[in-house]
Amino acid sequence: MKFYPGFDIQMSSKPMNFIYGKNVFGPVPEIRCLDDIRSSLANPDCDGPKDLYCIAMDVGKEEDKKDLIERNLLYGVVTYAAGQLGTEPIRSQGHIHAISASCNSSTSEVYEIWEGKACIYMQESGEDNPGNCYAVYGKAGDIIIVPPGWVHATVNADTGNPMTFGAWCVRDYGFDYRAVKDHHGIAYFPKIINGEIHWEENRNYSGGKLIVKDARDYPDFHLQKGVSIYEQYRKDQNRFQFVVDPLQDKELWNNYRP
C-alpha cells in the first residue's frame, strides 16, 4: 500500500480480503453486496459488481488489544472494489452513528485513506432539510473526521482502482439507516460524467447546500499530518478520546467544518 497504517496488514482485491501480519489481530472480514444498498441508489435497478466492499471491524496489534477494549476504542478497515453502480461510483448507502450506551451520544469517526482516492460525503442532518452537505476528497495519508449525528457515506472516487481506508470508532457502535431510507438515499447522489464525479440533488430533500473540498489538516484535534492515526494512538493513548466520549469537549463540534 502507498501509506503505512502503523501495523502489518495487507489487502487483496481479487477476492477482496485482509491478510493480517505477525502479532496483528482481526476478524474474518465481511463482504457487503450491491443488493444490500440498492434502495439508497439513484437507480436501484442498476447493474454493477456483486461485491462492493470488504470490512473488518476490530483490528490492531495484539499488544494494544487490552487497552483498546478498556478504552472502548475500535479500529476498522475497509477496502472498496473498482467499478460503477450504473452511473454512480462504488459507495456505501449512508447512515448516522446511533446513540452509544457507553457515552449516551452519537459518536464521531476518524477516517484515514490508505490507498486510492476516497470521497467522504456527509450532511448535517437526516431531516428534509439536510443543512450543509460536504463532499470531502482524500488521497493516501489524508485524514477526514465525521462528527457525531451527521449522515455520511463513503465513495470510491476512482472507478478504475480499489480504495482502502482505516478508521477509529467507538466499540459499541451502531448504524441508524432510517433517515437515509426515508429519503431513498443521501441528499446528493454522486454521478460519473466523462470520468468525473458530479453531484445530483436527491429531490426527496428540500434545501441544503453542497460544498466540495479536499481533506484538511486537523490541528484543532491535535492530529499530525503524515503520521498514521494508529501510530498517533500508540504515542498518546488518549489522543482519540473525543471518539469514545464526544461530549467531553463540545467546543470541538460547535460550528464544526470538515
| Rounded CA separation 96/113 (Å) | 20
| Range(s) of the domain holding residue 133 | 9-250
| Rounded CA separation 135/121 (Å) | 4
In 3-state terms, what secondary structure has residue 179?
A: helix
* pLDDT confidence bin for 1, thresholds 50/70/90: confident
Predicted confidence (pLDDT) per residue in 180-227, tens digit: 999 999 999 999 999 999 999 999 999 899 999 999 999 999 999 999
CB-based contacts of 168, cutoff 8 Å, min separation 6? 73, 74, 75, 109, 110, 229, 233, 240, 243
Has residue 199 been placed in a domain? yes
Query: Of 46, 71, 49, 48, nearest to 58 (Cα)?
Result: 71
Has residue 1 been placed in a domain? no
Has residue 113 been placed in a domain? yes
Has residue 77 been placed in a domain? yes
Mean pLDDT of the chain: 96
Cell numbers for 41: 441508489
Has residue 44 been placed in a domain? yes
The strand pairing partners of 118, in sequence order, are: 138, 156
The amino acid occupying position 201 is E
| Rounded CA separation 183/58 (Å) | 31
Q: Where are the alpha helices (DSSP H) in 139-228?
A: 178-182
Cell numbers for 40: 439508497
* For residues 49-67, average pLDDT: 97
Predicted confidence (pLDDT) per residue in 91-113, tens digit: 999 999 999 999 999 999 999 99
Tally of structural domains, the chain: 1
Phi, psi of 134 (to 5 degrees): -130, 135
CATH code (residue 156): 2.60.120.10
CB 153 within 8 A of CB 42: no
CB atoms within 10 A of CB 211: 11
CB-based contacts of 16, cutoff 8 Å, min separation 6? 29, 31, 51, 53, 54, 79, 81, 162
Has residue 218 been placed in a domain? yes
| Rounded CA separation 145/40 (Å) | 23
pLDDT of residue 255: 87
* pLDDT confidence bin for 2, thresholds 50/70/90: confident
| Rounded CA separation 100/171 (Å) | 9
Has residue 141 been placed in a domain? yes
Has residue 13 been placed in a domain? yes
